[in-house]
C-alpha cells in the first residue's frame, strides 16, 4: 500500500514505521475482527483492512503514529531526559500521555471508539499482547495504544457504515 502515488509522505512514513516496528495491517485487521465479528457475523478480513486503510488516510492519525513511534524509539535509545526517559521506558501506569495520544485517533470516529479502545486496551489480544511484552527490550509505550486505537477507530467506522446500510 505504500506504493500508492496519491499517498502523502506522512501516510507513507506512518505505514512504514508501523511495519518497521513489527505491526502489519493484517495484525490490526485481526483486532478489528476481534472487536466486531460478534456484531457482524459475515465480516470479512478485507472489510477490516478497508476500514483500517481509511483510518490511516487521516492526517490526525498519521501525526499520532509518527509522534508516538518517535518517542518510543528515543526511549529505546535512551535519548530522553529524566524523568521522562524512565517513565516511557518502563511504561509507567500513571503516565497516561500514551493513552491521550491514542484518544486523538479514536476520537476521529466518535464516542463508540472510546468504548472499543477501552475494551481492546484491557483485553490486549493478538499483536497488542506482543507489543506489551517488555522482555524484548523494545519500547512500545506509545505503539501499543496507537495500534489499539487504530483498530478501535476502524471498528467504529465499520459500525457507523453498518448502521447507515440498515
- pLDDT of amino acid 109: 86
The answer to whether residue 111 sits within a structural domain is: yes
Q: What is the CATH number of the domain that holds 100?
A: 1.10.3760.10
The answer to whether residue 4 sits within a structural domain is: no
Q: For the ranges 41-45, 74-78, 87-91, 133-137, which has the lowest average pLDDT?
A: 133-137
Please state, in angstroms and rounded to a whole number, the distance separating the CA atoms of residues 105 and 69: 14
The answer to whether residue 50 sits within a structural domain is: yes
The answer to whether residue 5 sits within a structural domain is: no
Please state, in angstroms and rounded to a whole number, the distance separating the CA atoms of residues 107 and 119: 15
Structural domain that includes position 75? 19-165
pLDDT one-digit tens code per residue, 39-85: 999 999 999 999 999 999 999 999 999 999 999 999 999 999 999 99
Which CA distances in Å does 4 have to 1, 61, 68?
6, 18, 24
Q: Look at the chain and report how many structural domains it folds into.
A: 1
The answer to whether residue 67 sits within a structural domain is: yes
Amino acid at each position: 500500500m505504500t506504493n500508492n502515488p496519491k499517498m502523502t509522505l506522512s501516510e507513507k512514513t506512518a505505514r512504514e514505521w508501523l511495519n518497521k516496528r513489527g505491526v502489519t495491517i493484517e495484525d490490526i485487521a485481526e483486532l478489528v475482527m476481534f472487536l466486531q465479528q460478534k456484531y457482524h457475523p459475515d465480516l470479512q478480513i478485507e472489510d477490516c483492512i478497508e476500514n483500517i486503510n481509511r483510518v490511516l488516510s487521516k492526517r490526525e492519525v498519521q501525526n499520532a503514529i509518527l509522534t508516538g513511534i518517535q518517542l518510543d524509539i528515543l526511549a529505546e535509545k535512551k535519548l530522553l531526559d529524566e524523568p521522562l526517559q524512565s517513565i516511557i521506558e518502563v511504561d509507567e501506569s500513571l503516565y497516561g500521555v500514551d493513552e491521550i495520544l491514542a484518544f486523538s485517533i479514536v476520537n476521529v470516529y466518535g464516542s463508540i471508539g472510546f468504548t472499543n479502545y477501552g475494551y481492546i486496551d484491557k483485553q490486549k489480544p493478538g499483536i497488542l499482547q506482543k507489543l506489551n511484552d517488555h522482555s524484548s527490550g523494545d519500547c512500545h509505550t506509545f505503539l501499543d495504544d496507537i495500534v489499539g486505537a487504530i483498530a478501535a477507530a476502524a471498528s467504529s467506522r465499520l459500525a457507523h457504515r453498518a448502521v447507515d446500510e440498515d
